[in-house]
Amino acid sequence: MVFLRPSIACTAVLCTALLQASLLGSGSQDITAVSSRVYNGYVHRSLPDGSLRPETYGFAVGGELNRSSAGAESVGGLPTADRSIDGIAFAEISGIIRGPLAAQKYVPTGDPKTADLLIVVYWGRTIGTNAFGGIVNGGDRDKIDLENARLLGFDSEKVFDLGYDDHANMMANIRREVYAGVMDAIEDDRYFVILRAYDFPLLWKQRQAKLLWETRFSLSQRHHDFRKDLPAMTQVAAEYFGKDSLGLVQKPIPEGRVDVGETKSLGEVPEK
């Protein structure tokens, strides 16, 4: 129900970063990138038998975010129309993500009085700086890359820390090398979904927005279709719903398509 990215020694940390960057840079078109965080001490608690305690939720429509980080209707003179995502209804998106949420014991409710969470859903497609060709370079390119990194959750890799846009900064140049694969992914167009879960009772009773967790996941737009690949993207991301991924996680989307099954009614809750 809807409720309103010089030679140096390879330390363990650096080797891990290089491996992650290599994975994302090699065959990145088929890699789902996930960044998930928890806030305000949130923990998805377990029952005595070790299983997760079900938490109820209602959806809110965050909506489709701006197609271009530059705020334009076209990029480099080319239109950004995309039939696989343009005009997609929230009901279609929520119907796809509801199953993976349920697998992590997040259960929809039709009664605001019993809801634990309000999950706000955003979606869209970034326009990466590769699409601009040679039109945008230097500081402007870095600015757009940073905006997209924040939107996609790629900023968790700290690629832009320590003067990333200062090319005379040695650490910045090292980061550029280590995270080359991450940067390549940022600079391409990507489909994304963002789930942000709030404490619903606090919001409902005291009008205070307390963020508990958020998960951002994305997939390269090239050779993909948002409608067709959203189930597989969500299946990869679901493992991290309500958890901290401890940085950016990259995993291949499952082979083939995900069968979400026949839509079944969960029943109606009478209005009071």
Q: pLDDT (tens digit, 9 = 90+) per residue, 38-71?
A: 999 999 999 999 999 999 999 999 999 866 544 4
**Residue recorded with tokens 């996609």:** 152
| Per-domain boundaries in the chain | 12-252
3-state secondary structure 150-171: HHHCHHHHCCCCCCCCCCCCHH
> For residues 135 and 133, what is the distance between their CA atoms, to the nearest angstrom?
6
- Asked if pLDDT for residue 83 goes beyond 50, the answer is yes
194 closest CA partner among 103, 141, 124: 124
> For residues 38 and 249, what is the distance between their CA atoms, to the nearest angstrom?
15
Q: pLDDT (tens digit, 9 = 90+) per residue, 193-208?
A: 999 999 999 999 999 9
Please, which pLDDT band fits residue 9 given cuts at 50, 70 and 90? very low
Q: Which fold has domain 12-252?
A: Double Stranded RNA Binding Domain (3.30.160)
Please state whether the predicted TM-score (pTM) of the whole model is above 0.95: no
Residue 237 host element (H or E): helix 226-237
Contact (CB, 8 A) for 136 and 69: no
